[in-house]
Amino acid sequence: MKRLLRQLRSYWEQFLTILCHELRIIFTDAGVMLILLFALLIYSTIYACAYAPEVVRRVPIGVIDQSHTATSRRLIAQLDASANLAIAYEPSDMEEAKRLFYARRIYGVVYIPADYEASLYAGEQATLALYADASYMLIYRQIFEGVATTVSQTGGEISLLRALDAGLDTPLPAPIIYQNHTLFNPYLGYATFLMPAVILTVIQQTLLIGVGMIGGTWREERLYRVLRPKTRRRISTLPLVVGRGVAYLLLYALTGGIALAILYPLFGYPMKGALGAVVCMVGLYTVACIALALALSTLFCRREESLLLLLWTSIPILLLSGVSFPKEGMPDWLYRAGLLLPSSHGIEGFVRIQTMGASLSEVFSEVKALLLLTLLYGGLACLSTHRIIRKEAS
């Protein structure tokens, strides 16, 4: 019993020593501070500002009007009135339109044929052609949306006019209306869509790289020996792992808190989740990332290794989460491999909580996965740290 108490007391003292020392390492190293302290806030702000306009409006397009009638001019005016479009040029033919296109003056062309008005007056179907550039996806979507909506409205007006013309004694077949409702991000804002994933990815990546840097420092400065408590042969594994982990948790509680409590509402991102659910999800996610980071950090012998070897993984990891590229579009095995990373679960769960208002029980599968990963990587971190301690002590 007494031995157990002595052991626990030693653990506690070691834990405190490690915690304080780790914080000191962080705050006396500019390179590490940049990554662990400032990167999250700097990147979140920069990305938020870059995507702040959220939607692309007034895409410049060209209209080739071969009809030159009041009806076609009316259509052009309606197209220009669309929020998504801006009629920038009226080229006289396709050749001129192509030149404007290559010079990036326009991103699409609407072609009104010569018989446009005539067809409509004759009660026939009129045809319009739209040439839209899909090499920029978002621009393409706005052009398509803007033109299709305008054409559909115009078509509706024409149907009504024809019905009035026909004198309404024949009962008009009642239309079946199709209505599309976009939930959770009704204006399809780009920042609203991507920022939750960006913030969480930055949390994971900065932890992996920053903790890895410190891991390299531990090896370079032989801290496994230096921080050995006087009364013991070697430093103990558990207080070391937990002490380092708590140091990072405190740090990210601060920076993550700023990002989510200040930045989020500042840029107007949806915050539909209950506070408890958000804190739970992000907190658990951070712990899982710290566990992975601690496990990986034992592999690095030099300070700069983690940055050199891990920086490139940031974009692949963001993609693997299935947010910016759907998981149904990637090979199944690759997506499953990505499930080994906290980011794939954390991002999914966080987006559903904040953007959709899901409750913790509705993201339970993600919570479960994060818990398992924490145990897995925490265990690996302890094993790997123990191995190094033994090696350094001999």
Partner 1 sequence: MASLRDSWAVTQREVERWRRSPIYLVLMLLLPLLSFAFFATLFHKGVAEGLPIAVVDEDHTSLSRSLVEMLSATPLAEVVYEPTSVMEAKRLMREGQIMAFVVVPDQFEAAIFANRQTAIHNFISGSNLSINGLLAKDIQVAAMTFIAGVEFQRLTQEGLPEQMALAEVMPIRLDTHTLFNPYLNYGYYLSPSFMPMMLLIFVVLATIFSIGVELKEGSAREWLTTARGNIEVALAGKLLPQTLLFSLVALVMLAVISGVVATPFQGSVGLIIVATLLLVASYQAIAIVIIALVANLRLSLSLGGGYSVLAFTFSGATFPVMAMWKPLQWLSRLFPFTYYTEISIDQLLRGTPALYSLPYLAAMALFLLLPLLALRRLKRVCNQPKFWGKS
| Residues 30-49 interacting with partner 1 (rule: CB under 8 A) | 30-32, 34-35, 39, 42-43, 46-47, 49
Given a contact cutoff of 8 angstroms between Cβ atoms, the answer to whether 120 and 71 are in contact is: yes
Query: Which of 10-18, 256-264, 279-287, 321-329 is the region at the interface with partner 1 (rule: CB under 8 A)?
Result: 321-329
Footprint of partner 1 on residues 5-34 (CB under 8 A)?
Answer: 29-32, 34
Judge whether 108 and 61 are in contact, CB under 8 Å.
Answer: yes
Distance of alpha carbon 381 from alpha carbon 3, whole angstroms: 26
3-state secondary structure of 203: helix
Name the nearest CA neighbour of 147 among 127, 130, 125: 130
Based on the number of CB atoms within 10 Å of its own CB, is 54 exposed (0-12), middle (13-18) or buried (19 or more)? middle
> Between residues 210 and 245, which has the closer beta carbon with respect to partner 1?
210
Considering the complex, state which of residue 237 and residue 306 has its C-beta at the smaller distance from partner 1.
Answer: 306
Residue 55 or 246 having the CB closest to partner 1: 55
Nearer to partner 1, 5 or 331 (CB): 331
CB of 181 to partner 1, least distance (A): 5
Within 8 A by CB and 6+ apart from 263, the residues are 41, 44, 45, 48
Can you tell me whether residue 119 is helix, strand or coil? helix
Residues 94-123: x where in contact with partner 1 by CB under 8 A, - otherwise, as a string: --------xxx---------------x--x
Among 23, 78, 140, 299, binds partner 1 (CB under 8 A): 140
Q: For partner 1, which is the closer residue by CB, 349 or 378? A: 349
| Out of 141, 228, 234, 386, the residue judged to bind partner 1 by CB under 8 A | 141
SS3 at position 235: coil
Round to whole Å and give the CA distance between 219 and 217: 5
**Distance from chain centroid for Cα 329:** 17
- CA atoms 152, 154, 160, 162: torsion sign: negative
Site size for partner 1, by CB under 8 A? 106
Candidates 28, 70, 178, 230: give the one binding partner 1 (CB under 8 A).
178
For residue 153, give Cα distances in angstroms to 156, 159, 246. Answer: 5, 10, 59
- Shortest approach of partner 1 to residue 217 CB, angstroms? 9
What are residue 54's DSSP bridge partners?
none
Residue at token pair 């326009």: 106
Closer to partner 1 by CB, 194 or 291: give it: 194
Among 23, 41, 158, 274, binds partner 1 (CB under 8 A): 158
Site for partner 1 in 180-219 (CB under 8 A): 180-188, 190, 192-194, 213
Tokens of 338: 């990505």
Which of 41, 130, 263, 274 contacts partner 1 by CB under 8 A?
Answer: 130
Cβ nearer to partner 1, comparing 11 with 43: 43
Please report how close the Cβ of residue 299 comes to partner 1 at its closest, in angstroms: 13
What phi, psi does 223 have (nearest 5°)? -70, -20
Can residue 362 be called a binding residue for partner 1 (CB under 8 A)? Answer: yes
* Touching partner 1, residues 218-277 (CB under 8 A): none
305 binds partner 1 (CB under 8 A): yes
Residue number, 182 or 231, with CB nearest to partner 1:
182
Query: Considering only residues 23, 41, 56, 279, which one is a binding residue for partner 1 as defined by CB under 8 A?
Result: 56
Q: Are 392 and 298 in contact (CB under 8 A)?
A: no
Kind and range of the H or E run holding 87: strand 85-89
Piece of 8-16, 87-95, 278-286, 345-353 that binds partner 1 (CB under 8 A): 345-353
Q: Which of 23, 128, 253, 339 binds partner 1 (CB under 8 A)?
A: 128
Task: Look up residue 118 and give its amino acid.
Answer: A
Name the one residue in this structure whose structure tokens are 């496990």: 295
Whether residue 360 contacts residue 367, with contact meaning beta carbons closer than 8 Å, is answered with yes
Residue 380 makes contact with partner 1 by CB under 8 A: no
Out of 271, 356, 360, 380, point to the residue binding partner 1 (CB under 8 A).
Answer: 356
